[in-house]
Copies of this chain bind each other. A is one copy, B any other.
Amino acid sequence: MSTSNLSIAAAPITHDIEFRVRYAETDQMGVVYHTNYLVWCEMGRTDFIRARGMSYAEMERAGVGLAVSELSARFHAAARYDDMIRVRTTLVDLKSRSITFDYLITRAETGTRLVSARTALVSLDSSGRSIALPSSVRGLFKAG
């Protein structure tokens, strides 16, 4: 996955979260059901945003939502119930109306790579119409 239009920072901005796999997240194959990794990606990016100084809940109350417009993922190895998981979220692109994040999901204790993913998000107003990202939100993603 190549990165384009990276006007935001020389050094990548990343953010890590860790948590345990819930029983509810497994399926009868004995591993995590595949769409749950994408829920974890969302947890990674919302915590990324909080760490930059604004919670996604505040963004929504201010009338700006972020909706996934594109998503891709590769599944390398399976997570299991009770594993400690690390999601590393990296901002890879910021445009006037969209933000792109990469995710690397690993088993925290061993570093085993489980899933790599990318999502593009577009900003919407409270009626679901595409809008430019407000400067207050864009400012969160500047380097430093």
Contact A34-B68, Cβ < 8 Å, known A23-B42, A27-B27, A43-B22: yes
Decide: B68 and A81 in contact? CB cutoff 8 A.
no
A76 and chain B: residue at smallest CB distance: B69
Complex partner residue of A24 from B35, B71, B81, CB under 8 angstroms: B35
Decide: B82 and A75 in contact? CB cutoff 8 A.
no
Decide: B75 and A73 in contact? CB cutoff 8 A.
no
Complex partner residue of A23 from B56, B70, B71, B81, CB under 8 angstroms: B56
Q: Which secondary structure dominates where chain A touches chain B? A: mixed
Decide: A65 and B24 in contact? CB cutoff 8 A.
no
Asked if A8 lies at the interface with its beta carbon under 8 angstroms from chain B, I say no
Complex partner residue of A69 from B19, B65, B75, B80, CB under 8 angstroms: B75
Bound form: Cα–Cα A28–B79 in Å: 12
Decide: B34 and A71 in contact? CB cutoff 8 A.
yes
Complex partner residue of A28 from B39, B43, B68, B81, CB under 8 angstroms: B81
Which 7 residue pairs across A and B have the least CB separation, nearest first? A26-B28, A57-B82, A72-B72, A35-B35, A34-B68, A35-B38, A24-B39
Residues of A at the B interface (CB closer than 8 Å) are: 19, 22-24, 26-31, 33-36, 38-39, 42-43, 46, 55-57, 60, 65, 67-75, 78, 80-82, 128
